[in-house]
Structure 1
């Protein structure tokens, strides 16, 4: 719909006007067709002059005439607009997470009174009120969208604000496991992820027990089978005292690592001086292991096979082994020490 535009000019167009002079305000309707208009002049949004003449003459002018002037043309059901103010839309807080409270504020530049504020999401009206704020509590992912606003006062409308994108992500938990080689234990890091995270937040995680931290991650160190369960998290703002919704749960299942053991393949005990002894690293689960061997707690880098052969008595000692693989589980437990020594006497 085309709305004719009213243009207001000041005659004379001086930068300074002094008391006692004569001032003429002229209202020209652009795109209005014929000239059968009635003109309404406003000072600070209050009507001060209404006539069929397009000019409003003030003589003499006084300091009391100081103000912001606009005009509008009226013809039947048709109206013009003039110098339409623009709406400005702002949101808080940032960042935003599901379950929090979001306040969207609409301000009309230069004229912030007696307006009805129309808030729109994706060009569809979601709220219309004299309150400058549209409050969403709690906010969900379904509230994600492009928001604008405009002011309406009688037959006048402001220019629609620029769009503000509201994105409401859902927090979710990720897990990462790591083997502490020196301790032979596994650690699990649980991370609570949002689109963004403010430094003024705490992350809560829950299973049978609860972890609270000011960091995005919490760590179970070491991890045990008792740590199995469903974990979820939420974000808590300390400054404004509200929480996001809990994330969807993530299942954490902690299994025992496969157990390795050292076995003597040949010869049968007792062992004698000069025997060639074949040892095997036995791990009952999986078959794609790479094997690591130790003698007296010293790594044997040349031995990577499932079986190794040693000579007695030169290679006697306490033997251990462990399996390594690329997939989970990435290692087995270290085997217990197995002593290999000369145990028999030649008659």
Structure 2
């Protein structure tokens, strides 16, 4: 039965803990490595609560709410802010705040981050080292690209409008082609920002003069000297040059002269010699000359001396041989033979001899021998001598002509000697 005005107490309920925390402040971070940007360059910022995804975010610039437009956009839950093409109107102090998705709880604003937007693109300057208007083949030249502001740049090179690479472009040995160089910078990955190109720097390259070695020792002097005088010259240059000499590729110490004398004492191995021109102006040095081989020259000299000696001694040998043959030559077999006896006597010899027969007797035929003496008497003398003139006194040639007519055959006999 219940009784009025009597107090009843219930048991205690389950214990509940209430934890009251300060509302966290979001953290604003820059995703883009730099916060000084140039027109048309992109920027990206992030806002977030550490370890929680239950928040949405609101962005502010200079205390004013930032709204989405053509170049400004937000990511999921507005956790990121992206500017695709920065302009001067977007510079300022950026901050963000967070709101819980489940209930109406808002955080305080984050710390501010300053975004600097330049009015113009960066100025790129191309520098050349050494600064010579005219280069020569073989010279080394270095081009450097400099930007007046900011950091994080990647350098792009252009040679006659063709892309190259590297931060410093070094040419270790230029060639004889006139070219122009430019550089520009870029940064960023997805939407990389590129500066305008630098001024073009032209590189004029001329052919480096080449030294030449000539031999001053003439061929007429090779018989009277055992040394060779070499001279180094610059045939296509009007400038004043000094010269250095090299033997087998090594510089000859303390020798700066246009002439060099090669002797058997300093050239026992018959080496290769080269020379190079040097001067204080530009170009400061020349190309090396072609190698001059003293071995070949001395060989030619020796060959010339050998040929000359052979010719000289050959002439002497021929003269001595002629003298020896003249003195000791054996007589020919024909020289010992006595003169042949004349088979026939001349008319003069016949006249001097009393017992000489009449020449006509040898030519009398048998018919004439058998003829009667009477015919001989009738026809006159059978043998008659008719003197003939001598045509040559030296060889005593005599021509005898005798004519006679006989009744037997009417023969005409003539003699010639």
- TM score, norm. by length of structure 2: 0.42
Q: Which has the larger radius of gyration?
A: 2
If asked which structure has higher relative contact order (CA below 8 Å, sep 6+), I would say: 1
* Structure number with higher helix proportion: 2
Q: Which has the higher strand share?
A: 1
